[in-house]
Structure 1
Amino acid sequence: MLKRGLSVLAALACLSVAACSHVPAAPPVAEAAPQGPRLILISIDGFRADYLKEGITPNLQALADGGASAAMRPSFPSLTFPNHYTLVTGLRPDHHGVVNNTMRDPQKPGVTFKLSNKEAVADEFWWDDARPLWVTAQAQGVKVATLFWPGSEAVNHGVRPAYWLPYDEAMPDEARVKQVLDWIDLPAADRPGAITLYYSQVDHQGHDFGPGSPQVDAARREVDTSIGQLVNGLKARGLYGKTNIIIVADHGMAKHRPETFVRLADILPEDSYDLVTGGQVAGLYAKPGHEAEVDQALITNKPAHMQCWHKAKIPARFQYGHHRRVPEITCLADVGGYIIGPSTDNWMPKPEGGSHGYDPSAPEMQALFIANGPAIRPGVKLAPFDNVDVYSLETKLLGIKGEQNDGKLGPLKPALY
């Protein structure tokens, strides 16, 4: 009896142990591959294309070497809000309606859109001539998180990004990266498929101290360190090399040439015109009864260090001048120059600083472009292209159908597998 009992126990043990050769072991359960966002879109405001070649941003360089890079032409005018909106719509400013950092609209009299007017920045009215990437993606089932991106604080066609924060310039870089990684760590059902990230310090230091300054170099190193922290966060989650990353700038930066600054007060009586915005590209209207006087001073006489046109005569290569928000006269400063407004405006650009907004074909205006990820071939150097083309790459990587736009995927196809 004891012998029989031991035999039964041995047989039961054999059934439960894979070492018994005649009982096949159960196959191991495969772990699900980690799933991160399909796209992380990063903007480094004011990062000139040739900054990458100077050897002080190793993390950006590694992403470029392992992917594709190029110098990218901004759209006219080469300013922050117009070009950020171009990068997520594929439309020229003349078509998406954000025609300047400062603008007016005859359909909204008495209001001036500008960076400091938070109410206007968050008003759908100024943005809804176009559907940005997050509106289109979310209509096709791809959640989007924005930290930060011009236009993302406003409802657009009834839609906001699934996750967004109002712009906070003081938010430390480490906190920005942590927020992105926190979004990536959300449960699969809540996790965004696309995330934007924005850095401003390279642009700020460029305005204050000019390209080539120690302050700009320090800002570039700071951003590069932050990019490295993001890459390390992706590696720790098994997502590096499995997530497509696009890094762009909205424009470059040119060193000021104070000898080319233009004072409108030296050219025109201050009661003869209404200035919407000055700077690298100025927009104004002649006041009633002063049209001939303003035309003579700005267009016929051709003042030194700037060019001025009626909106219908802006050179075709700028693809600008048809939108109702473009003022009647547009003046463009020489690269490094500045158009200073009425004498009542005491603000002056810093002579040692820098600016953008100039002719997009100027080498100083060329912007950074890097793409890296599973869809991108390594070691690709693309020919310079227009920033309207980036939108087609974004929609391709997200697997969505984009809106009608002014760009094309063709210039970026050599970067794709």
Structure 2
Amino acid sequence: MMAKQKTQSLKVIIAVILVCIFLITFSGIFLFMNFKEEQFVGAINEDIDMSQSVLIISIDAFRHDYFECAEAPNLKGMSDQIHIQKLIPPFPSKTFVSHYSQITGLYPAWSGIVANTMYDSEQNLTFSIGSSSSQESFWWWGEPFWISNQREGHLSGTVFWVASEVGIYGRNESPTYPTYYLSYDRDVTYKARIDQFFDWLDLPEAIRPNFYTLYFESVDDMGHMYGPCSKEVTEAIEDVDNWIGYLIRGLEARGLWKAPNGLNVIVDSDHGMTKTSKDKVIIIDDYIQIETSLIHCAHMEHLHLYPSLKDDFRYNDLDCQKRNSQLFHDDSRQNKKRFQKNLNQNSPSQDYEAQVVNFSPVTQIIPAEGKEEQVYQKLVNASQNWTVYKKEDVPSKYHYSWEGNSRIKPIIIVLDLGWSISDRAYYEKYPDNFNGGNHGYANDHDDMAGFFVASGPAFVQENNSIEKLENLEIYQILQKIVGLKNPAPNNGTMKNVESLFQ
């Protein structure tokens, strides 16, 4: 009996202890929640001045006329204050090229990023979206705005922007990153991206950035797959606009939207989009004999759009990094085995005429040694739907013929709007990959123009609409807002943007 009573007493004691632990834990959680809530409320109610701070948001491939395709009330509301009707991308109108020109104020010949896929003969390296080589500092010339900003004692926070996860020298003695940044991951939701921006915005003043970036890619994805103003593009625009609304509500809750001390917000795009078709493709090896052993390197932009192709290509980034004549002409069993894994199973030949660096609307061609004139003459009049230039003859309006940039190759093919280029083997296997939409064409086509809207206390408050502006002038706009005293050398001109400001 005594043993039974002791057992019951022990159970009671254990139960009391468990209840106490629960109450203590719950109290701690409650206190922690209250603490977090107090901190959050404090951040919202803090009397801060963000009138010399700026958030720039890029909506990839939002064409200048997409307001006619979709309802976008939040973006249209911003256009009531500042609207640049056509934001002109650099030549060529590609994502990496354009974003880096925006953030450095440089034409591609001087920014170093002359295409989404490049070959640097001096370093014997190939650059492409997502390649390990693209993280190397030497590709990135000029000085991104976040470095200019940080040189003057400010802080920067980037939720995805081209080159923001790369250590870049600029005018510094060592590679420099944004103060806070996220490495690009397309699986991060738009809500999580915006919430990360809010987390930085809510930091105490001493560690709070004055320059922020956000990036949204879905409009570009749908544009490539289905073409401009398709149902899918319209839905992507409306989805992004809803997230812009979420952002605006968060700024309103902090008293930072359309207020004298509010945050300046810019939303723009890197380029536009045009309709393409498998019936408008030029097959380059109908005209010249191209080197084929590493042809997948030139198709890397399609590999980015269609990841499943990597299985067919046996894609290996290292192969592209070792692009050189010894590899091309090595007859070893190991190299022959690797060549058989490529889409084009031809072994490299001593008598090939040219190497294609990229299959893009602006295509870079490297003629075989001693064959530049031969290749040029074969291509120049081969098609009515392209224009072929020697590097030194590219029109000055494109700012693309600087002899000091060896990444711009000796022969440049510029396709007519809506046309594509391929080798025959790839086209015959994947013809439908040329349907949908594309960009990268000459930047004087209206379809390549992006858009720009802005709101904030730094800008003129009445409706101010400008017909067009080159997107490298974005650097000047950012410089003006934050009051940058010592900007990096750039190709922009402040007088072109003065009308936007108070």
**Residues 340 and 348 in structure 1, CA contact (< 8 A), matched pair in contact too:** no
Equivalence for 1:360: 443
CA 1:335/1:408 → structure 2, altered by over 3 Å: closer, same or farther?
same
Tell me if 1:38 matches 2:49. no
**Residues 260 and 305 in structure 1, CA contact (< 8 A), matched pair in contact too:** no
Given candidates 472, 476, 479, the residue that maps to 1:388 is 472
Equivalence for 1:275: 356
CA–CA distance in structure 1, aligned partners of residues 137 and 421 of structure 2: 30
CA 1:59/1:312 → structure 2, altered by over 3 Å: closer, same or farther?
same
1:304-361 Cα deviation digits (max 9, x unpaired): 2111111111111111022211111110111011111352575556343011111111
Equivalence for 1:371: 454
RMSD: 1.7
**Residues 263 and 339 in structure 1, CA contact (< 8 A), matched pair in contact too:** yes
**SS across alignment from 1:309:** strand
Equivalence for 2:130: 116
**Residues 124 and 156 in structure 1, CA contact (< 8 A), matched pair in contact too:** yes
**Residues 34 and 237 in structure 1, CA contact (< 8 A), matched pair in contact too:** no
**SS across alignment from 1:303:** coil
**Deviation of the 1:70 alpha carbon:** 2.6
**Deviation of the 1:54 alpha carbon:** 3.9
Equivalence for 2:406: 324
CA–CA distance in structure 2, aligned partners of residues 342 and 140 of structure 1: 53
State the AA in 2 paired with 1:405.
N
**Deviation of the 1:258 alpha carbon:** 3.8
CA–CA distance in structure 1, aligned partners of residues 423 and 433 of structure 2: 15
Tell me if 1:266 matches 2:350. no
Equivalence for 2:160: 148
Equivalence for 1:19: none
Tell me if 1:304 matches 2:384. yes
CA 1:324/1:227 → structure 2, altered by over 3 Å: closer, same or farther?
same
Equivalence for 1:225: 242
Tell me if 1:284 matches 2:365. yes
**Residues 388 and 408 in structure 1, CA contact (< 8 A), matched pair in contact too:** no
1:354-374 Cα deviation digits (max 9, x unpaired): 111111111101111112100
Mapping for residues 339-354 of structure 1, pairs under 5 Å: 339-341=421-423, 343=425, 346-348=429-431, 350-354=433-437
Equivalence for 1:134: 146
**Deviation of the 1:170 alpha carbon:** 1.2
Q: Which stretches in structure 1 are left out of the alignment for 5+ residues?
A: 1-30
Equivalence for 2:342: none
**Deviation of the 1:34 alpha carbon:** 2.5
**Residues 282 and 332 in structure 1, CA contact (< 8 A), matched pair in contact too:** yes
1:266-317 Cα deviation digits (max 9, x unpaired): 1112332111101211101111243343122112x24221111111111111
Given candidates 157, 170, 176, the residue that maps to 1:159 is 176
CA 1:223/1:374 → structure 2, altered by over 3 Å: closer, same or farther?
same
Tell me if 1:337 matches 2:337. no
CA 1:70/1:411 → structure 2, altered by over 3 Å: closer, same or farther?
farther
1:169-215 Cα deviation digits (max 9, x unpaired): 11111111111111101121111110000000101100000002000
The two structures have a TM-score, normalised by structure 1, of: 0.88
**Deviation of the 1:248 alpha carbon:** 1.2
CA–CA distance in structure 1, aligned partners of residues 433 and 71 of structure 2: 26
State the AA in 2 paired with 1:268.
I
Equivalence for 2:394: 314
**Residues 146 and 165 in structure 1, CA contact (< 8 A), matched pair in contact too:** yes
* Between structures 1 and 2, the one with greater helix share: 2
Equivalence for 1:13: none
Deviates more, 1:341-350 or 1:211-220: 341-350
CA–CA distance in structure 2, aligned partners of residues 170 and 193 of structure 1: 26
CA 1:349/1:397 → structure 2, altered by over 3 Å: closer, same or farther?
farther
CA 1:247/1:112 → structure 2, altered by over 3 Å: closer, same or farther?
same
Equivalence for 2:376: 295
1:109-146 Cα deviation digits (max 9, x unpaired): 1x2100031x222211111x201001110000110111
Tell me if 1:102 matches 2:121. no
CA–CA distance in structure 1, aligned partners of residues 267 and 229 of structure 2: 21
CA–CA distance in structure 2, aligned partners of residues 399 and 347 of structure 1: 51
**Deviation of the 1:150 alpha carbon:** 0.6
1:62-86 Cα deviation digits (max 9, x unpaired): 1111333331111100000011001
CA–CA distance in structure 2, aligned partners of residues 395 and 380 of structure 1: 19
The two structures have a TM-score, normalised by structure 2, of: 0.74
**SS across alignment from 1:203:** helix
Tell me if 1:398 matches 2:482. yes
CA–CA distance in structure 1, aligned partners of residues 426 and 275 of structure 2: 26
CA–CA distance in structure 1, aligned partners of residues 424 and 459 of structure 2: 50
State the AA in 2 paired with 1:357.
G
**Residues 376 and 411 in structure 2, CA contact (< 8 A), matched pair in contact too:** no
**SS across alignment from 1:84:** helix
Tell me if 1:215 matches 2:298. no
**Residues 91 and 108 in structure 2, CA contact (< 8 A), matched pair in contact too:** yes
Equivalence for 1:11: none
CA–CA distance in structure 1, aligned partners of residues 393 and 494 of structure 2: 30
CA–CA distance in structure 2, aligned partners of residues 55 and 80 of structure 1: 22
**SS across alignment from 1:104:** strand
State the AA in 1 paired with 2:166.
A
**Residues 275 and 341 in structure 1, CA contact (< 8 A), matched pair in contact too:** no
CA–CA distance in structure 1, aligned partners of residues 471 and 178 of structure 2: 22
**Residues 376 and 388 in structure 2, CA contact (< 8 A), matched pair in contact too:** no
CA–CA distance in structure 2, aligned partners of residues 352 and 324 of structure 1: 33
**Residues 252 and 366 in structure 1, CA contact (< 8 A), matched pair in contact too:** yes
Tell me if 1:415 matches 2:500. yes
Mapping for residues 190-209 of structure 1, pairs under 5 Å: 190-209=207-226
